[in-house]
Amino acid sequence: MLDEIREQPEALERTLRHALPAVRTLARVFARTRPKLIVLAARGTSDNAAQFGRYLLEITTGIPVSLAAPSIFTLYEARVELRDALVVAVSQSGESTDTILVLERAKEQGAVNVGITNEKASTLARRADHVLLVRAGKERSVAATKTYTGQLLMFYLLAYALGASIRLDDLKRLPEWTERALGAADQVREVVPRYRFMMDAAVVGRGLNFANALEFGLKLMETCYVVAERFSSADFLHGPIALVEESFPVFLFAPPGATWPSLRDILVKLRERKADILVITDTRNRQAMADSPRRIALPLQWPKDLWREELYTPIPYIVPAQLFSALLAEEKGLDPDRPRTLTKITKTL
């Protein structure tokens, strides 16, 4: 898992370089027929990436995005009208049975369909009309890391193909920003021993980084066997914050940008409750640096206008969370590469 976390800058650069021809083909398709609805189908870590895709695509394109509930197709055998939608199936292995079924139902109705996968020879890659191939290389650890960031990159490229104001020059800097995020490893190693006996926690994010809250919580559950509840900061205030008491661990993604004011309010409330708070931020968010009792601060620089300060944070921001999960598992004497009862490919119907 640690090796694959460190491979991410190279994997992102390779994925971006090879994906551009397929992205340009999609851009021509969308220029002829712009979808009025986007439906994303995924499970597990890929579903967390799809949550990011939902926020990104709606923010940058204005097209409504829905996350498919595959059970509607597999268990209830309902017919859903997808004819004029763009349907995107996301699966690391390309063998997630129910997400492939959603894509096949869309194909039967003539919908534009896209498969995002790390496996060129997979069922999903064969069935989809358009394939965005993550080139992360073989992922041996059961806990997905480099395929997750590769999927996030694909959603940036999908937004670009749909005409969003995503600049390729910015995307080309993501491997560099991810490499810098890996430089936070010493900060992570310093704080991990504090959480050796942690059994419960909350992970909080908002907007574009809500997906990272979901993914960090999943990694804590599957590699460290920590019961990690995951929340949008807005939903956290609508009841769940009541579970926080003195010394309760809360992990908070706090980038600069549009979500910071509401996250700052959460931080104040958590400090009042004497929670054990760990904030993931970067050095441009000076308030978070000053107000956080414990933090991992990434040495990053972003484009100047405010919303773009947050736009490109999700990929580098997940890196310290991945490192934290792998190192905490090691601290607990667990093997993050082989979580109990889990396998790399999960087929669900």
Verify that 8 and 155 share a domain, yes or no: yes
Task: Say if residue 306's pLDDT is above 90.
Answer: no
pLDDT at position 96 is 87
Q: What CATH number does the domain containing 34 carry?
A: 3.40.50.10490
Burial class of residue 80, CB neighbours in 10 A (0-12, 13-18, 19+): middle
How many domains would you assign to the chain? 2
Confidence band for 345, pLDDT divided at 50, 70 and 90: low
Report the chain's C-alpha Rg in angstroms.
19
Q: Give the end of a domain, one of 134, 149, 167.
A: 167
Smallest CA-to-CA distance from 202 within 210, 213, 191, 192 is with 213
Task: Say if residue 347's pLDDT is above 60.
Answer: no
pLDDT at position 344 is 47
Residue 101 DSSP SS3: helix
Verify that 77 and 12 share a domain, yes or no: yes
Whole-angstrom Cα distance, residue 316 to residue 170? Answer: 13
Verify that 182 and 268 share a domain, yes or no: yes
Residue listed under structure tokens 């009042």? 272
**What is the per-residue pLDDT across 144-156, written as a single tens digit (0 to 9) for each?**
999 999 999 999 9
Question: Do the Cβ atoms of 277 and 294 come closer than 8 Å?
Answer: yes
Choose the most confident range, by mean pLDDT, from 249-263, 294-308, 332-346: 249-263
Least confident interval from 63-72, 249-258, 286-295? 286-295
Residue listed under structure tokens 């944070």? 313
Mean of pLDDT over the chain: 91
Per the structure, the complete domain to which residue 16 belongs is given by: 2-167
Verify that 163 and 191 share a domain, yes or no: no
Task: Say if residue 305's pLDDT is above 70.
Answer: no
Task: Say if residue 46's pLDDT is above 60.
Answer: yes
Whole-angstrom Cα distance, residue 227 to residue 229? Answer: 6
Verify that 160 and 287 share a domain, yes or no: no
Whole-angstrom Cα distance, residue 208 to residue 307? Answer: 11
- What average pLDDT score do residues 96-122 get? 93
Residues 6 or more apart from 17 whose CB is under 8 A from it?
A: none
pLDDT at position 48 is 96
Verify that 17 and 58 share a domain, yes or no: yes
**Amino acid letter, residue 291:** D
Verify that 149 and 259 share a domain, yes or no: no
**Amino acid letter, residue 111:** A
Indicate whether 35 belongs to any domain: yes
**What is the per-residue pLDDT across 240-249, written as a single tens digit (0 to 9) for each?**
777 888 989 9
Least confident interval from 82-91, 152-161, 177-186, 340-349? 340-349
Verify that 136 and 249 share a domain, yes or no: no
